[in-house]
């Protein structure tokens, strides 16, 4: 048995600069990332932070490499207490310009064998990246009711 690696390639009819904004700026990410505010706008050594729609922080990971708008690498460890406590894994985004379009490759690796987080991200990335593509091409991410529910719960708390 070998260590699991997740690789996903998608082609997006938008220039790499716009894809980069979607991956790094919370004001953009919340429009397609099911309400999550993901900030990965810093230089290597700075932090990647993410907040769920209820305002709870779910990520505080190191930015390992940042070469806008070509390559972004950050660590990945969820702060959700409900999730299995595994050591951090690593996410690499590679953006290649193709005639004003972008080939986006997402590689998520450095998991231990049998990682439960690997199963979760393997389901999660296709949804997030499908929504990113829809958002950049049509102005609308894929709809989710989850973010509305989270905001509502936060309001009641």
Partner 1 sequence: MTKPYFVYVTYIRSTPEKVWAALTDPVAVSKYWFNMTVECPFTPGSPWALKYDDGRVADTGEILEADPPRRLVIRWRNEFKPELKAEGYSRCTITIELAEYYPGMGGKAVKLTVEHGLEGEGGKFIEAVSGGWPKVLSNLKSYLESGDVAFKE
Give the binding site for partner 1 (CB under 8 A).
Answer: 8-13, 34, 98-99, 101, 103, 123-124, 126-127, 130-131, 133-134, 137-138, 140, 142-146, 148-149
Supply the minimum distance, in Å, between the C-beta of residue 90 and partner 1. Answer: 21
Supply the minimum distance, in Å, between the C-beta of residue 79 and partner 1. Answer: 18
Spatial separation of the C-alpha atoms in residues 20 and 27, rounded to whole Å: 13
83 vs 127 by CB, closer to partner 1: 127
81 vs 123 by CB, closer to partner 1: 123
Spatial separation of the C-alpha atoms in residues 16 and 124, rounded to whole Å: 22
11 vs 57 by CB, closer to partner 1: 11
Supply the minimum distance, in Å, between the C-beta of residue 41 and partner 1. Answer: 25
Helices (H), 10-68: 16-24, 26-32
Spatial separation of the C-alpha atoms in residues 47 and 50, rounded to whole Å: 10
Supply the minimum distance, in Å, between the C-beta of residue 62 and partner 1. Answer: 25
CB 23 within 8 A of CB 38: yes
Classify each residue of 67-99 as buried b or exposed e, where b means 16 or more C-beta atoms within 10 Å of its C-beta: eebeebbbbbbbeeeeeeebeebbbbbbbeeee
């Amino acid at each position: 048995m070998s260590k699991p690696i997740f690789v996903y390639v998608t082609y997006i009819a938008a220039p790499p600069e716009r894809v980069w904004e979607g991956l790094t700026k919370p004001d953009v990410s919340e429009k397609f990332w099911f309400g999550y505010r993901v900030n990965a706008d810093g230089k290597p050594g700075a932090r990647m932070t993410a907040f769920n729609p209820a305002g709870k922080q779910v990520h505080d990971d190191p930015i390992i490499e940042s070469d806008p708008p070509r390559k972004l690498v950050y660590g990945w460890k969820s702060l959700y207490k409900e999730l299995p406590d595994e050591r951090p894994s690593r996410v690499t985004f590679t953006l290649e310009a193709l005639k004003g379009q972008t080939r986006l490759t997402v590689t998520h690796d450095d998991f231990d064998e049998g990682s439960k987080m690997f199963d979760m991200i393997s389901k999660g990335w296709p949804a997030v990246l499908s929504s990113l593509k829809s958002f950049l091409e049509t102005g609308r991410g894929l709809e989710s009711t989850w973010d509305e529910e989270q905001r509502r719960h936060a309001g009641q708390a």
